[in-house]
């Protein structure tokens, strides 16, 4: 299952020491072949990931459940995870869409993408 692989990759990249001062929830909406929706809850160094069922009936509730919504195609997100594309480049070019507080999205760099945060 593609969504399980993505979930496990995010868990393995999580740096709790970089998230000790953060309490926020993020909706990660991946479209395309790996179509899936995740709710990432970060609470002072702890990570909880829920895989959500994003049906038309509950789409508004899901969007309202997060402080920040990040959307991309599964393929583009995988390129970011693989290090083939920087998350900031993807966001600035519109490949990665961010709705909500941009500052919250930027806080994810040292938490999940420590190797990319040095360029900020």
**Using 50, 70 and 90 to split pLDDT, how confident is the model at 63?**
low
Give the mean pLDDT of 95-115: 89
Give the mean pLDDT of 58-77: 82
- In which domain, by residue range, is 45 found? 2-117
pLDDT above 80: residue 80: yes
Structurally, the chain folds into a number of domains equal to 1
pTM of the predicted model as reported, rounded to 2 decimal places: 0.86
Q: Report yes or no: 54 and 37 within 8 Å, Cβ to Cβ.
A: yes
Mean pLDDT, the chain, as a whole number?
86
Q: Assign residue 60 the CATH number of its domain.
A: 3.30.1050.10
Closest alpha carbon to 9 in 79, 90, 92, 100: 79
């Amino acid at each position: 299952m593609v969504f399980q692989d993505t979930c496990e990759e995010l868990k393995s990249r999580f740096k709790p020491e970089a998230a000790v001062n953060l309490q926020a929830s993020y909706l990660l909406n991946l479209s395309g072949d790996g179509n899936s929706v995740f709710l990432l809850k970060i609470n002072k160094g702890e990570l909880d990931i829920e895989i959500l069922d994003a049906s038309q009936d509950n789409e508004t509730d899901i969007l309202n459940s997060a402080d920040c919504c990040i959307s991309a195609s599964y393929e583009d997100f995988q390129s970011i995870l693989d290090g083939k594309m920087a998350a900031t480049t993807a966001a600035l070019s519109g490949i990665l869409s961010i709705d909500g507080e941009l500052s919250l999205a930027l806080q994810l760099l040292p938490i999940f993408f420590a190797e990319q945060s040095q360029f900020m």
